[in-house]
Amino acid sequence: MDSKIGIPDGNKDGESSAARKNGAQKNVWLRASTLSEALSMLYERQEESVVIVGGATDILPQIKDGKKHGNVFLDLNGLQELKKIKEDERYIFIGSMVTMSAIINNPLVQRYAPTLVSAAGSVGSVQIRNRATIGGNICNASPAADTVPVLIASAARILLKSHLTSREILLEEFFVGPGKTLINPSEILTTIIIPKSERRTGFVKLGKRSAMTCSVVNHALSAELVDKKLKNVIAVFGSVGPKALRIRELEESLEGQEPSEELLGRCIPVVEKHVKPIDDVRGSADYRRRMSGVLFSRLFAHLFLGRPMGGPIL
Ligand SMILES: Cc1cc2nc3c(=O)[nH]c(=O)nc-3n(C[C@H](O)[C@H](O)[C@H](O)COP(=O)(O)OP(=O)(O)OC[C@H]3O[C@@H](n4cnc5c(N)ncnc54)[C@H](O)[C@@H]3O)c2cc1C
């Protein structure tokens, strides 16, 4: 039996006819209906490099292209508890299996994290957004992931659970490099925790076209305004380094300053100095460097100088 998402041989007990014919190792498809069941399955099979399956919009193409390997799959799509968005007085809690479409349409996210709505709305197409989960966007660890800069700029934390442990870490500490994170083989990312705050936060992305496009560069910026001065600035750039990049020198240059055209002009070279882009199919390093400055300029002017910006995709 094939799995619903099209990975061949994907059932719990069976072996595909193709696998039987050529003696290849069979694929095993594990379906859990509760988080504790999923964590037990992962714990029992932690030696087998189990591939966790969310919406499969990243892993399916990766498997088809031979970039991801594994023959045991753990499907989280039956876990209703990871598809919820909740709040308490200080935080909103987004389950890792919440899709981009669900984020866009959720009143709590619209109210407390509207910039995440913009970023989720810029991901792929409607069809992709209906399947793509926020947990998958994070765990895939692409430097171009669109929700990640916004979540880092919102000081988000994540909850990682295994059969025996539970730990909460700051999202920005989770990434090691392209496709690499601090997650252990027995862990599942269960929840994204976003503080409710008065920060002004914005997101902008440059693609090769204005819709259905991966980021050539993306940028999220957030700060509080206290007595007209910028406080606790967080500036994050994606697709210009091996992982989402916070530019501390930029943050320090803005900290305690009153927003002005002059301040903006002084900070653009700081952005261009610190991004670490590479040449690839989506753009040259030089183009990305210059556009990082442009994205910062547009977003800063929009958030703090009242200039209109249009939508999140340039
Ligand atoms: C046509 C197309 C366009 C796209 N456009 C964009 C775009 O504009 N912007 C963008 O950011 N991305 C884009 N993507 C990439 C992709 O859609 C997103 O990264 C998506 O959010 C991944 O989520 P998923 O649920 O599909 O993850 P999956 O493919 O299911 O999983 C991705 C990775 O995360 C792991 N994983 C998933 N969930 C968990 C969990 N809860 N705990 C631990 N590990 C987990 C998986 O094992 C896998 O390694 C695009 C993809 C396609 C195919």
Q: What is the pLDDT of residues 33-90, one digit of tens each?
A: 999 999 999 999 988 889 999 999 999 999 999 998 889 999 999 999 999 999 999 9
Verify whether ligand 1 is closer than 6 Å to residue 42 (CB atom). Answer: no
Give the residue, by CA position, lying nearest to ligand 1 atom 15.
Answer: 58
Same domain, 53 and 90: no
Query: Residue 3 above 70 pLDDT?
Result: no
Question: Is 112 inside a domain boundary?
Answer: yes
Among candidate residues 168, 195, 222, the one where a domain is terminated = 195
Same domain, 54 and 149: no
b/e per residue 235-271 (b: at least 16 CB within 10 A): bbbbbbbebbbbbeebbebbeebebeeebbeebbebb
Instruction: Give the closest residue (by CA) to ligand 1 atom 3.
Output: 124
pLDDT band at 10 (very low <50, low <70, confident <90, very high): very low
Is 148 a domain residue? Answer: yes
**Which of 57, 67, 75, 130 best tests ligand 1's pocket when mutated (most atoms within 8 Å of CB)?**
57
Of 238, 217, 151, nearest in space to 189 by CA = 151
- Please report the pLDDT score of residue 160 as a whole number: 98
Chain segment 187-206, per-residue pLDDT in tens: 999 999 999 998 999 999 99
Confidence check: pLDDT of 207 > 90: no
DSSP annotation of 11 reads: B
Same domain, 89 and 67: no
Q: Does residue 312 belong to any structural domain of this protein?
A: no
Domain range for 232 is 200-304
Q: Determine which residue's CA is closest to atom 36 belonging to ligand 1.
A: 136
DSSP structural state of residue 281: T
Same domain, yes or no: 128 and 229: no
Mean pLDDT of the residues in the chain: 92
State which of 75, 108, 124 marks the end of a domain.
Answer: 75
51 or 6, greater pLDDT: 51
What confidence score (pLDDT) does residue 213 get?
80
From the list 162, 150, 304, the residue with the least C-alpha distance to 226 is 304
How much is the average pLDDT of 243-249? 98
Tell me if 48 is assigned to some domain.
yes
CA of 114 to the centre of ligand 1 (A): 21
| pLDDT (average), residues 208-224 | 89
Q: Mean pLDDT throughout 243-272?
A: 98
Task: Write out the DSSP string of 75-144.
Answer: E-TT-GGGG-EEE-SSEEEEETT-BHHHHHH-HHHHHH-HHHHHHHHTSS-HHHHHH-BHHHHHHTT-TT
Confidence at residue 199, expressed as pLDDT on a 0 to 100 scale: 94
From 141, 176, 195, the end of a domain falls on: 195
CA–CA gap between residue 153 and residue 200 (Å, rounded): 10
Query: Is the shortest distance between the CB of 146 and ligand 1 below 6 Å?
Result: yes
pLDDT of residue 14: 39
Q: Which of ligand 1's atoms lies nearest the C-alpha of 53?
A: 30
Identify the residue whose C-alpha is closest to ligand 1 atom 40: 189
165-178 pLDDT, tens digit per residue, is: 999 999 999 999 99
Residue 54 phi, psi dihedral angles, 5° rounding: -100, -115
Answer yes or no: is the C-beta of 51 below 6 A from any ligand 1 atom: yes
Domain match, 243 and 222 both: yes
Q: For ligand 1, what atom is nearest to the CA of residue 145? A: 11
DSSP string for 14-78 = ---HHHHHHTPPPPEEEE-SSHHHHHHHHHHTGGG-PEEESS-TTHHHHHHTTSS--SEEEE-TT
Same domain as 111, residue 150: yes
User: Does one domain contain both 124 and 226?
Assistant: no
| Per-residue confidence (pLDDT) for residue 5, from 0 to 100 | 53
| Cα of 22 from ligand 1 centre, angstroms | 31
CATH number at residue 49: 3.30.43.10
Express each pLDDT in 80-116 by its tens digit: 999 999 999 999 999 999 999 999 999 999 999 999 9
In the DSSP assignment, the letter for residue 188 is E
User: Do 185 and 211 have their domain in common?
Assistant: no
Count up the domains in the chain and report the number: 3
Residue at 314 is within a domain = no
Residue 8: inside a domain: no
Average pLDDT over residues 9-19: 44
State whether the beta carbon of 128 lies less than 6 angstroms from ligand 1: yes
- Specify the pLDDT at position 6: 56
Is the CB of 299 within 6 Å of ligand 1? no
The answer to the question of residue 12 being in a domain is no
In percent, the amount of the chain with pLDDT more than 90 equals 81
Strands 51-53 and 91-95: unpaired
Confidence of residue 29 (pLDDT cuts 50, 70, 90): very high
Is the pLDDT assigned to residue 20 strictly greater than 80? Answer: no
CATH number reported for the structural domain that contains residue 150 in this entry: 3.30.465.10
Q: How far is the CA of 129 from the centre of ligand 1 (A)?
A: 10
248 & 188 share domain: no
Convert the pLDDT of each residue in 116-144 to its tens digit: 999 999 999 999 999 999 999 999 999 99
CA of 87 to the centre of ligand 1 (A): 24
- Tell whether ligand 1 has an atom less than 6 A from the beta carbon of residue 312: no
CATH code assigned at 261: 3.30.390.50
Ligand 1 centre distance from Cα of residue 273 (Å): 30
Assess whether the C-beta atom of 3 lies below 6 angstroms from ligand 1. Answer: no
User: Quick one: pLDDT band at residue 262, thresholds 50, 70, 90?
Assistant: very high
Query: Running DSSP on this structure, what letter comes out for residue 194?
Result: E
Question: Does this complex have an ipTM over 0.90?
Answer: yes
pLDDT on residue 26: 85
CA-based R_g, the chain, Å:
20
Together in a domain, 100 and 121 = yes
- Is 5 near ligand 1, meaning CB less than 6 Å away? no
Do 238 and 295 reside in the same domain of the chain? yes
Contact 192, 37 (CB under 8 A): no
Mean pLDDT of 239-268: 97
Above pLDDT 70, what percent of the chain?
92
User: Is 264 inside a domain boundary?
Assistant: yes
- Residue 135, ligand 1, Cβ within 6 A: yes
Are 298 and 204 contained in the same domain?
Answer: yes
